[in-house]
A and B are shown apart, each in its own frame.
Chain A
């Protein structure tokens, strides 16, 4: 069974469209994350979320919004896609970071290409 799954694996879309990426974890974790990896392979956190708190990286445009229907899912919605949004997006989960001492489990990534 896949621990953290993401769909779709690849997403190609036109500028200006709205799209969503889904993430599910079956590990019973209480915290989930979205990361963006750019073309230079640099990972940057976008959001971390548990059932108590959403922490947003202030550099993330408000076109990006996380939606969590339940503890096992954290979906990423992107409105008005721009060329610069092209990247690989990773979902991850862990128990609450608690000083960062809990292992993160990553999904396989979603490669988004905006044309």
Chain B
């Protein structure tokens, strides 16, 4: 089945630094990937849609200059948290979609990246 790989799985950084998280579709191509954020004991919140070869589409309330998304190839999207602050500490999860034989499509999620900003 489809596999989405995220790296790193855990990262700790100092306040003010930038952190890059990679999301790769390992055995399929994905023109669209999605980035989610999840705070403790809360559900996943969609942050942005990453489009290969074009600008990402951000959800309302998500700062595009804070969370830089690059989708340079059909198998790789990156999320960079710029000038990270403790309130950016969260679980970041990416996903990519594949068409299913039923005509619908199915999102496969990465294992997530836990960011802790000190």
- Tell me whether A and B are bound partners: no
Residues on A close to B: CB < 8 A? Answer: none
